[in-house]
Amino acid sequence: MRDRQGLGLRVEAGRLWLIDQTALPQAERWQAIDTLEAMVEAIRALRVRGAPMIAIAAALLVAVRVEAGDERPSLLEAIDRLVASRPTAVNLAHAMNTLRGALAAPDWREAVVAAADDLADRDVALCEAIGDHGAALIGSGERILTHCNTGALATAGIGTAAGVLRRAHEQGKNISVWVDETRPLLQGGRLTAWELGALGVPYTLITDNMAAAFMARGQVDRVIVGADRIAANGDVANKIGTYGLAVAAHYHGIPLAVAAPYTTIDLACASGTAIEIEQRAAEEVRGVAGAAGNLCWAPSDAPVANPAFDVTPAALITHWILDAGVFDRDAIAAGALKAAIRSAEAKP
Ligand code: MRU
């Protein structure tokens, strides 16, 4: 397994390290992940998160286990348990399918390690392509609203929606970003604010319930979000709150783009209604946890609903920013998603 260094993941001398995203931005704690149990725990607890990043981290953990001498049956079982650890983002299932294929090769040990390395390298390149295509869409001085965290912490590269923001900023487009805090787990307030600050991208942090009011005042020119799964008809599952943003953006005539690599597309889901939505623990809504400890503000037995994602119908999306290019609703209806997968898979 090759050495690599990302913002939230690194491989050094065959050892996989993840930054604990639940402790950010107050503490930068790196954790060596050597076992299946440690990786499943990290994924479930959102120590590692973001659709592409979960897939890459899980793939590299399987490579770690191959190099540790695990045999095929236990690796196949590990892959099944990793797939089940978070159900909504399809990138994880995509990566694990690739590794299942490599496990069937005669030289399967080399094949699995090479496939995991390749998935990570590809993700870096996919982010670059998304950033370049998306930045071309953005006009000078735009005030862009984003939700959750889609940056270098959420991928092996520069990110998806946040990668577009980064590229536009680097191209001198003078953009500014409204960062949605993203209740309940605050990926916007904790992670996106931290990343954009480090990059020098001008941003303003807002709570989720402020977004519509800023749109009404004419202070939002565009919304760009990421995706956990894109159905065949263009519907998109993404962090809870995305649908509300899309409804508000549509009402105010503001374009809303979804940025994602081809590994987020799931043609087996005809529409968003087929996408499984992860339900998470009540404690996440009753209070907040972080490096400073846990705080519960609701009655400790308050009944809670906590869907981690929602589905935005294609009718509310104006652009799909993929590694293959930027597509509008007509292009998606005409089969752009299928063509994007075909062209990505044709690349060596
Ligand atoms: O629960 P999370 O933090 O993993 O949710 C992340 C998102 O919803 C992102 O928008 C999506 O995974 C794309 S990350 C490039």
Tell me the residue length of the chain: 348
- Assess whether the C-beta atom of 241 lies below 6 angstroms from ligand 1: no
Question: Which residues share a beta bridge with 5?
Answer: 10
Q: Which two tokens stand for residue 1?
A: 């397994």
- Taking the C-alpha atoms of residue 248 and residue 115, their distance in angstroms, rounded to an integer, is 42
Q: Say if pTM beats, i.e. exceeds, 0.85.
A: yes
What's the distance, CA 156 to chain centroid? 10
Give the Å distance between the CA of 92 and the centre of ligand 1. Answer: 12
Question: Which residues share a beta bridge with 257?
Answer: 224, 319
Give the Å distance between the CA of 105 and the centre of ligand 1. Answer: 32
Report helix angle 90-103 to 72-85, nearest 10: 170
Q: Is-contact 188 196, C-beta < 8 A?
A: no
**At the fourth CATH level, which superfamily is domain 4-127?**
translation initiation factor eif-2b, domain 1 (1.20.120.420)
The pLDDT, as a whole number, for residue 348 is 80
Asked if domains 4-127 and 130-346 share a fold, the reply is no
Q: Which residues are catalytic?
A: 228
pLDDT (tens, 9 = 90+) of the chain, 348 residues, equals 999 999 999 999 999 999 999 999 999 999 999 999 999 999 999 999 999 999 999 999 999 999 999 999 999 999 999 999 999 999 999 999 999 999 999 999 999 999 999 999 999 999 999 999 999 999 999 999 999 999 999 999 999 999 999 999 999 999 999 999 999 999 999 999 999 999 999 999 999 999 999 999 999 999 999 999 999 999 999 999 999 999 999 999 999 999 999 999 999 999 999 999 999 999 999 998 777 778 999 999 999 999 999 999 999 999 999 999 999 999 999 999 999 999 999 988
- Assess whether the C-beta atom of 148 lies below 6 angstroms from ligand 1: yes
Q: Whose CA is nearest to atom 10 of ligand 1?
A: 226
Q: Which residues contact 312 (CB under 8 A, 6 or more apart)?
A: 235, 236, 237, 238, 242, 243, 246, 256, 258, 272
- Looking at domain 130-346, which CATH architecture does it have? 3-Layer(aba) Sandwich (3.40)
The pLDDT, as a whole number, for residue 56 is 98
Give the Å distance between the CA of 106 and the centre of ligand 1. Answer: 36
- Assess whether the C-beta atom of 187 lies below 6 angstroms from ligand 1: yes
- Residue ranges per domain, the chain? 4-127, 130-346
| DSSP-derived 3-state class of residue 227 | coil
- Taking the C-alpha atoms of residue 201 and residue 223, their distance in angstroms, rounded to an integer, is 16
**Nearest one of 195, 190, 185 to 160, comparing CA atoms:** 195
The pLDDT, as a whole number, for residue 268 is 97
- Assess whether the C-beta atom of 175 lies below 6 angstroms from ligand 1: no
